[in-house]
Homo-oligomer: A and B are copies of this chain.
Amino acid sequence: MQRRKFLRTAGIGGGAAVVASTVAAPAIAQSMPELKWRLASSFPKSLDTLYGAGENFTKFIGEMTDNKFQVRIFASGEIVPGLQVLDAVQNGTVEMGHSAGTYYIGKDPTLAFDTTLPFGMNARQQEAWMNWGGGKELLGEVYKDYNTISIPCGNTGAQMGGWFRKEIKTPEDMKGLKFRIAGIAGMVCAKLGSVPQQIAGGDIYPALEKGTIDAAEWVGPYDDQKLGFNKIAPYYYYPGWWEGGPQTSAYINLQKWNELPKGYQSVIQSAAARAQAIMLSKYDAENPKALRELMAAGTKLLPFPQSVMEAAFNASNELYAEISAKNPKFKKVYENWKPFRNEEILWFRVAEFTFDSFMARQSAANKLG
């Protein structure tokens, strides 16, 4: 089947060469072969913004190719468990996935750079790193070992710090805290003395209600509201210092990608970029209303104390040094990512943050209404 697909698309090189010329190409059927692919999403349909990015991605691919290139999306668990999407793409069980690198740090923590790391870059800075800072090339090497190409396809923006049953006043309060938090953020929390818990979305509510866990992080107001955490935990902390600009990714099986005509590769990249913009802007548009409603229903909104943020920042740096010492791939990406982050934040402190800060002050003074 794969061999036949290869043969069917093997004549595409000529088509691609025509693309580069300035003369209109004659209509060659092979330049737009009929393909029916499947995409496994790591997200449930209930997370309509995250799942929606995959849905839009596949929809745009169909639209742009007159439905010659059809990709059918399957929600988490429908054909592939949500956290095994990379495996399924690697093995060719599905041609495509929509997922997040950070779900696969058990394979290699380096994959987290494709999403974000605690105290990483914000959404715009992450995109700058991916497009212009070397991120795309470095992560391309890493994903190659998993027979996959990863293309940015979504970002949530800075997330919230989650729902807590008791107040967090000092780093001491993090000690012994049974906190539903996954991945590298969980490893940082462990350094602070917390007991990180990995619990699937649907199981968080009862665990938090019963007191099996003391706190749980999810996404932000729009998604959190749906799960009703506000009914069982009074304190809603911010910011989610472990997810300042987490990116989600479209995965494509590397052989399948290489067999595609250049035109379809371009369609995929543009569809992903458009789906990303729609997803991030939807969170930015929907979160304010959800947060208002949560607060009207009694949620107490609190910032993490600076001392807790500082302790988490130091623990993160320690962790990155430890991982770098034993993982040369992680070290290689980290040593590119870290100075890029530094430069980005230096620059953002100038025009972007001072503009945003002034507007925030006007907001605090009720001058924007």
Contacts and interface: CB of A to CB of B under 8 A. Distances in A.
Contacts of A367: 313
Nearest to A267: B64
A16 to B, nearest CB: 9
A354 interface: yes
Contacts of A267: 64, 270
A220 B262 CA distance: 35
Given A64-B270, A284-B125, A360 B345 contact: yes
A360 B23 CA distance: 51
A364 interface: yes
Contacts of A21: 67
Contacts of A360: 345, 348-349, 353
A66 B15 contact: yes
A330 interface: no
A351 B66 contact: no
A266 B68 contact: no
Interface string A340-353: 01111111111111
Contacts of A29: 27
A175 B301 CA distance: 44
A303 interface: yes
A130 interface: yes
Interface stretch (A74-82, A116-124, A140-148, A226-234): A116-124
Contacts of A62: 19
A69 B220 CA distance: 41
A70 interface: yes
Contact of A368 (B66, B342, B369): B342
Contacts of A66: 15, 18-19, 25, 28, 31-32, 261, 263
Interface string A266-277: 110111011011
A119 to B, nearest CB: 7
A133 B274 contact: no
A319 to B, nearest CB: 15
Given A18-B67, A66-B32, A124 B284 contact: yes
A57 to B, nearest CB: 10
A34 interface: yes
Interface of A: 15, 18-19, 21-25, 27-29, 31-32, 34, 36, 60, 62-68, 70, 119, 122-125, 127-133, 157-161, 220-221, 238-241, 244, 261-263, 266-267, 269-271, 273-274, 276-278, 280-282, 284-289, 291, 301, 303, 306, 309, 313, 338-339, 341-360, 362-364, 367-369
Given A127-B280, A238-B351, 8 more contacts: A25-B68, A124-B284, A125-B284, A128-B284, A270-B270, A288-B344, A303-B354, A357-B357
